[in-house]
Amino acid sequence: MPITPVILCGGSGTRMWPLSRAGHPKQLLALSGEQTLLQQTALRLKGLSHAGAPIVVTNQEQRFMVQEQLHAIDLAAAQVIVEPVGRNTAPAAAAAALLALRDDPQALLLLLPSDHLVQRPEVFHDLVGQALSAAERGCLVTFGVQPNCAHTGYGYIRRGAALDMATGVHRVARFVEKPDEARAAEFVAAGDYYWNSGMFLFRADRYLAELGKAQPEMLAAVDDAVTHGRAEAPFFMLEATRFAEVPSESIDYAVMEHTDAAAVITAADLGWSDIGSWSALAEVCEHDGAGNNLVGDVIAEAAQDCYIRAESSVVAAIGVEHLVIVQTPDAVLVASKDRVQDVKKVVERLNADGRTESLWHRRVHRPWGSYEGIDRGERFQVKHIVVKPGASLSLQMHYHRAEHWIVVRGTARVVCGDETRLLTENQSTYIPLGTVHRLENPGKVPLELIEVQSGSYLGEDDIVRLQDQYGREPDAAPDSALLAGLPAMPMPAGDTPRQH
């Protein structure tokens, strides 16, 4: 039976701050190796027997980055489901199951988190093959990992009676919340408890049937959100109002703890980690002779058992032990390794204070490219803007700021009021306050420019979007007087928004 992988890619990864942020979470970062965790998850499917193109479930903010990262590894998703609001794994799996059944009434789903590490993909492939027959018979199979320590950051699964001695599939006796250290030690000593990896293999129809028994209101709401959703190739947009009513529950809570069809297949040498904290990442990265993980421009003297990461400047550490030090252009984290779980408290403080360091990096990715803050004062702001070849910003205006653009690389097509002009390197233009404008890159190389904003208010919410080629909703209906005489927004020939 063909397998449809489902990659869940909607989390915020707050425990990996300041590198992981809500606008660019850990699954979209290259934390271990050259590829991002999402790309590693997708590449792990190569060589897996019977596996087709994956369904990816993500959110509105990340959908273009997801498409771009898959495109970078020459992998096309069968479908990208866009959630209007995050509702945990049970509703996400239900939406994927409902859509998969439209194409295949016998659809078999392999559910994978996008932010986990599996260092031995060949073992993973073998486990999927061994679990296949149980899943085809109607079992909801989860993957358990043999614990090598009394870890308190993972949930545990207790193995029950064998369902198939040849493949090692067992019934699930119980699910256990993240335990304290003493209970975790008891579980490891018992020998029949396993870490809950959050990976599943099951028939789509059986999962929906079990969800309907345990959470009928959830299933009904997700069904409505899919039924009234809309396809905007390559995306499928779930209907926002109904999906917002869906309870937020994990698969474990919503289904697995209530069904008699739960099964587990176990692995001792998968090389699995959920990379749920900086200390967890340190455990799976290479160490130097002093037990340090050094990433980037780092100078360590008499340092021991430290994870030190420099993203944009030199970091020097002298005579320190058991620390995590992470430097980004706008934030620095220093934490004891045994307290890194408390990073989420820092994020909560930032959110409570209305600060943006928990949400965005200095460089912010957009469907058309990126922008990065360079300098800021009371009434000015300077940005470095990069626009991909063939891409275009939305047609927009500002009520509180004017803008100066200076091209430093490539060619810009600029719409300013009723005038359209081409700018090349070292040329500049001025966008007066309140003027409808648009920036495009008609060339074959990235367009780079310096933008100087000036005005009484410089927030990103002072953008009135009038037209947009990426399907983002306009902020206001276009005013016919404002738009009179302006050229229509082109879509580059042979191109689609997903390639931007």
497 inside domain? no
Determine contact, residues 124/18, Cβ cutoff 8 Å: no
Final residue before a domain boundary, out of 252, 273, 294: 273
Same domain assignment for residues 336 and 478: no
Same domain assignment for residues 208 and 327: no
Same domain assignment for residues 17 and 111: yes
Final residue before a domain boundary, out of 349, 375, 391: 349
Q: In the chain, what percentage of residues exceed pLDDT 90?
A: 85
Residue 447 has pLDDT above 60, yes or no: yes
Same domain assignment for residues 445 and 411: yes
Report the C-alpha gap between 58 and 89 in whole angstroms: 11
DSSP structure string for 184-242: HHHHHHHS-EEEEEEEEEEEHHHHHHHHHHH-HHHHHHHHHHHHT-EEETTEEE--HHH
Report the C-alpha gap between 143 and 131 in whole angstroms: 9
Same domain assignment for residues 260 and 370: no
Q: What's the CATH number where 201 sits? A: 3.90.550.10
> Kind of pairing, strands 401-409 and 428-431?
antiparallel
Stated pTM of the model = 0.87
Same domain assignment for residues 263 and 367: no
Same domain assignment for residues 324 and 430: no
Q: Is 415 helix (H, G, I), strand (E, B) or coil?
A: strand
Residue 59 has pLDDT above 70, yes or no: yes
Question: pLDDT band at residue 490, thresholds of 50, 70 and 90?
Answer: very low
324 inside domain? yes
**pLDDT (tens digit, 9 = 90+) per residue, 385-395?**
999 999 999 99
Same domain assignment for residues 192 and 298: no
Domain that holds residue 307: 286-349
Q: CB-based contacts of 59: which residues, under 8 Å, 6+ apart? A: 10, 82, 83, 84, 85, 86
Same domain assignment for residues 11 and 124: yes
Q: What is the mean pLDDT of residues 430-458?
A: 96
Same domain assignment for residues 313 and 251: no
Q: Which of 179, 174, 173 is nearest to 155 (CA)?
A: 179
**pLDDT (tens digit, 9 = 90+) per residue, 202-222?**
999 999 999 999 999 999 999
Q: What's the CATH number where 437 sits? A: 2.60.120.10
Report the C-alpha gap between 122 and 118 in whole angstroms: 10
Final residue before a domain boundary, out of 222, 251, 273: 273
pLDDT of residue 461: 87
Residue 143: HSE in the Cβ half-sphere, 13 Å Cα cutoff: 30
499 inside domain? no
Residue 440 has pLDDT above 90, yes or no: yes
**Which range among 73-87, 131-145, 269-283, 468-482 shows the weakest confidence by mean pLDDT?**
468-482
Report the C-alpha gap between 202 and 214 in whole angstroms: 17
Q: CB-based contacts of 494: which residues, under 8 Å, 6+ apart? A: none
183 inside domain? yes
Number of domains in the chain: 3
E strands of 348-398, at which residues?
363-366, 369-376, 380-387, 395-397
Same domain assignment for residues 303 and 397: no
**pLDDT (tens digit, 9 = 90+) per residue, 230-275?**
998 889 999 999 999 999 999 999 999 999 999 999 988 899 999 9
Which amino acid would we find at residue 475? D
Same domain assignment for residues 294 and 260: no
pLDDT of residue 473: 67
140 inside domain? yes
310 inside domain? yes
Average pLDDT value over all residues in the chain:
91
280 inside domain? no
Residue 487 has pLDDT above 50, yes or no: no
Question: pLDDT band at residue 474, thresholds of 50, 70 and 90?
Answer: low
358 inside domain? no
Helix-then-strand count for the chain, H and E: 12, 30
